[in-house]
Structure 1
Amino acid sequence: MLQRIRLTIRKAAPEAVETISYQMPTFKLNGKGLVYFAAYENHIGFYPIPSGMKAFEKELSPFKQGKGSVQFPIDQPIPYDLVRRIVVFRAKENRERSG
């Protein structure tokens, strides 16, 4: 699961740099956080920053959420296409803010 999320992010933002931040796998673009993710006992935490959450509010509504995070239960299919679209959105947003 985590490897597939990582590959989904990598394909959606190939220029992003992988690192660890806040003790979890992180992708950065132009030196700024793009998305974070981590495994927990019952879910995968995906952190697309609040703007990524707001832009996909309706599609994320079935999942438990925090201010800048969403929980994908491990006993349900992970919405990889939604993850990809959020990363594409965040990468575009990041480029526009840096450019």
Structure 2
Amino acid sequence: MGEVTEYVAGLHEPARSAVEGVFLVAREVVPDVEEGRSYGMPALRYAGKPLLAVMEAKTHIGLYPFSPAAIDQAADVLDGFDRSKGTVRFTPEHPLPEEAVRRLVGLRRDEIDAASGRRRG
């Protein structure tokens, strides 16, 4: 098992379903990810770079796209969610819409591709 799979398996409901759902959508957007760690968190990695981490905290779940720019660019689909420079916070009772996850993951993927000179087909 990978870092993300083990982390999700250790969560209790309803956080498990909320966190797992975000990772499932991220894998649909970027199928060629690997599980690993980034900044001490279980994370999906793409092209050797951190793509996304999702972690349960005491009062919320934090989504970390490792990109303040991606959060800024997706602001229109993040209305109603607490966010800071590097984090979007949500709860299982008020989950992130799939559209928001897709947007954040796609923006981060594109950022990684641009930095590495990769081109999308």
1:16 maps to which residue? Answer: 33
Greater RCO (CA < 8 Å, at least 6 residues apart): 1
Partner of 1:80: 98
Q: RMSD over aligned Cα, in angstroms?
A: 1.5
| 8 Å contact kept, 2:36–2:45 | yes
Q: CA deviation at 1:8?
A: 0.8
Unpaired runs of 5+ residues, structure 2, are: 1-17
Show the 5 A alignment for 1:54-93: 54-93=72-111
Structure showing greater Rg = 2
Following TM superposition, where does structure 1 have runs of at least 4 consecutive aligned residues deviating by more than 3 angstroms?
none
Bigger strand share: 1
State, as a whole percentage, how many aligned pairs show the same letter: 33
- Equivalent of 2:61 in 33, 37, 44: 44
What amino acid sits opposite 1:78 in the alignment?
L
| TM-score w.r.t. length of structure 2 | 0.73
CA distance in 2, matches of 1:73, 1:2: 10
Q: How many residues align?
A: 99
TM-score, normalised with respect to structure 1? 0.86
Structure 2 equivalent of residue 28 of structure 1: 45
1:5 to 18, 22, 32: 22
Which letter maps to 2:115? R
Query: Structure 1: 5+ residue runs without aligned partners?
Result: none
